[in-house]
Structure 1
């Protein structure tokens, strides 16, 4: 590419022809003359490679990059085979990142397929050329096999290297860290950084899993944040598949990844219709977040993000429904796995009234239907006592009580059903439903101010019926007539919402 073409863009001027001429002139730097010249130019070359990476990292795949920079393949290919270039400072890493930018995750044609194959072979070559270890005897055994350069051996070399590193890390973990703790930690960190541009290579998965489950003696995080972010990104975009234990470990050791995963789930759920909670439940389960939330730290963070989403959307019923389905799925996991982990309820809800939590956590299908009214009255009495407590002075306290009740929405739906069936309106149940819909109003006003605009009312009814259909579907009861009626009502309401 000539220099004039790059001047029209906002990126720094990239002198491709100059550096390609240099790369051709240097070859593989076998003469003393060429070696001296390479060494003289290495700092400027590294700066050029960094600018190149910054320029192409937003381009999608090899086709676009080659259209914009026709000489890029020749240049990168030659530089990758120059031992002086790849041995200097961060040049090797930057070359890898540039190659990864050219890699097409979904190749559209034969050219992109061929480019992908070429990129993989260059990455493997760089991987083999890496200064992985110091000269310690115990780690040099597997390095001796890395002298091969034939393309036939590349895939075997990557597999060999991954197997060797996995073995080394697992032995380190098993025997515990000795006096060389700091060396081991820095080595593990270096391995994690080196994996960043190769995250999506299938052969690397065992190494990713081992790194994510690796905990040295240090209290500080030893894996690089770039590695953790890159793994999370690849997992969320379904570019890699990881065992659940590795994903849970990633989220526990790197809070930004957990936050990103939760926001990614919300984005997914907002893009689908909430007319089938079965589909919503499937998407939530697929995210692995309810399973990860069996650890109290994960549960509390996810719950906090949901709470913020609810406030930002002014308490929209779609978000409430999502939170309720998530809570139900979490409860299933918690009840199934509690024998293993045995975390007390207080660990998940540390600042809430524990008797209320225990009552809300009991799901309707666990109790006989004849006991529902009594259980609801018990819940309502506790909520009322908390709300009317003189210590509950701020709106924040009130919101926390309301949010807890809202999370366990099955009981609110049952309360609404009970009101529809009852000949006389039971005060306690009516108060609970009124509090749910109008928590900020004074007690005497609650009865007069339930749900005001027609569109909001039909939305609330629609969501109530959707949740009821989902609950009846999972309760195991024979409710064919009720389900038929619910589905008819839902079809009619779909047009109004």
Structure 2
């Protein structure tokens, strides 16, 4: 009987044990069988009392949650509605059970003493029908938190599944500590929560970053990740794997950026003595890159943006060059710094804004060489964001193509006179053949929104020509590409509207007017 000393209450093995014993005792009349029955009598009595108690607790709970207002109730004779009485009684019962769970652990007493948490399996199973009841939330939290702090606590799979489903379906409201306990107890529930959020955002309508942040915060993922580094590492890995499967999804990129933004805010809201350092959450990225790329643009004065981006660009170029020297430019080292740049994607948006808005000033400035050097650094940063790896060892050739395309775009978009149609056709063909369509779209929209001279009309013409030329090559495939480009453009415009922090009132009004024009005409430009 040594193996029975600490069984799981009401487990299949334990029930089978007692059923076999009872069967053996009923058929045997030998003195040894009678002696065995006497030895186990007290343990059998204790087991049956636990079963009876659990059954009483379960029939009581079923009665209290029943919504039969017209049913028979003793309380009708004293003038108290049965539903009101049931709810009041259920609250009191939940309170008593919660107190028992919170104070019932004895795992730190004697190694040979049975821990009182062994009985929580049956209690969790009893609570399955109650998980969506608001009165049960304190007990659910106590059970889940106990499962994390005591190794003897084994909650039923049915209970964990019911809590996970109720939370994901928004039929159950839990505080952050309880959600953290749920996800630490059951990693599959954490994975389901992340993938549910991804699926919800990807299938949603047009992107609005403020709404996206609300959806992300409502999932409680950022808050839980700020409290538990282990939860963050799991969530980050899920996002990383999903991104590798859907690397062209601009909406997924915005979701990852929104999650990171909300996580950083939740982390900053913690007490300094309880807050972990960033290197704990991003162990694979050099510390010198973590703070610059994860500091939100809104937290940096606008007149320091350019200097801040110069530092990021220089460090990324250095990291990329060192990776090339080691011959691992396509391995994890470059990917990790690129993924961090994606997570703090607000700086990519700012780089595109500064690159577009600085062009006219660069041409007229006495320090044109310095301005051109800064523009090259910003352009390199954008190029790295869309082409992080040196595939086929074509980085130098690729960089030359991007610079040529950028020069062509500036020539037609910033021209004081409308360019001829043939020039636009040439630039559109160059955009399609020499750089990725997403990088081309980023450069086009940045010029259309932020350039000091009107360029939105030219940008829309180029986008339309790009869409038409791709559709001519393969109608079915490129129809999907056109929709993908429209989605990419919507995300870029949403980011531009969110991250534009321009103190110049006239410039701000001009940018807002251009954003509205581009948003109103974008669908026709890509789908006509």
TM-score by shorter chain over 0.5: yes
Change (3 A) 1:327 1:496: farther
Kept in 2: contact 1:274–1:318 (CA 8 A):
no
* Structure 1 SS opposite 2:326: coil
Kept in 2: contact 1:290–1:330 (CA 8 A):
yes
Kept in 2: contact 1:296–1:348 (CA 8 A):
yes
Are residues 1:358 and 2:386 paired? no
2:500 paired residue among 469, 472, 476: 472
1:391 paired residue among 305, 326, 329: 326
Are residues 1:270 and 2:202 paired? yes
The residue correspondences of 1:227-306 to structure 2 (distance < 5 A) are 227-294=159-226, 295-306=228-239
The residue correspondences of 1:400-419 to structure 2 (distance < 5 A) are 400-419=336-355
The runs of 5 or more residues in structure 1 that have no matched partner are 1-38, 41-83, 101-114, 125-149
Deviation string 1:463-485 (CA, Å, 9 cap, x unpaired) is 22211212237x89863442333
Kept in 2: contact 1:121–1:154 (CA 8 A):
no
Kept in 1: contact 2:329–2:389 (CA 8 A):
no
Which of the two has greater helix per residue?
2
Kept in 2: contact 1:435–1:446 (CA 8 A):
no
Are residues 1:486 and 2:422 paired? no
Change (3 A) 1:482 1:225: same
* Structure 2 SS opposite 1:417: helix
Kept in 2: contact 1:437–1:450 (CA 8 A):
no
Kept in 2: contact 1:185–1:216 (CA 8 A):
no
Change (3 A) 1:297 1:484: farther
Kept in 1: contact 2:97–2:139 (CA 8 A):
yes
CA–CA separation in structure 2 for the residues paired with 1:273 and 1:418: 29
Are residues 1:440 and 2:373 paired? no
CA–CA separation in structure 1 for the residues paired with 2:343 and 2:272: 24
Are residues 1:117 and 2:67 paired? yes
* Structure 2 SS opposite 1:420: helix
Kept in 2: contact 1:176–1:217 (CA 8 A):
no
User: Which structure ranks higher in relative contact order (CA pairs < 8 Å, sequence separation ≥ 6)?
Assistant: 2
Name the counterpart of 2:314. Answer: 381
Worse overlay, 221-230 or 433-442 = 221-230
CA–CA separation in structure 2 for the residues paired with 1:171 and 1:320: 45
Name the counterpart of 2:94. Answer: 162
CA–CA separation in structure 1 for the residues paired with 2:314 and 2:71: 69
CA–CA separation in structure 1 for the residues paired with 2:233 and 2:497: 28
Change (3 A) 1:408 1:221: farther
Which 4+ runs in 1 deviate beyond 6 A? 90-96, 119-122, 150-153
Name the counterpart of 1:341. Answer: 274
Please say which structure displays the higher CA radius of gyration. Answer: 2
CA–CA separation in structure 2 for the residues paired with 1:154 and 1:459: 52
The runs of 5 or more residues in structure 2 that have no matched partner are 1-21, 24-47, 74-81, 363-371, 402-433, 438-465, 468-481
Q: TM-score, normalised by structure 1?
A: 0.65
Worse overlay, 460-469 or 283-292 = 460-469
Kept in 2: contact 1:361–1:408 (CA 8 A):
yes
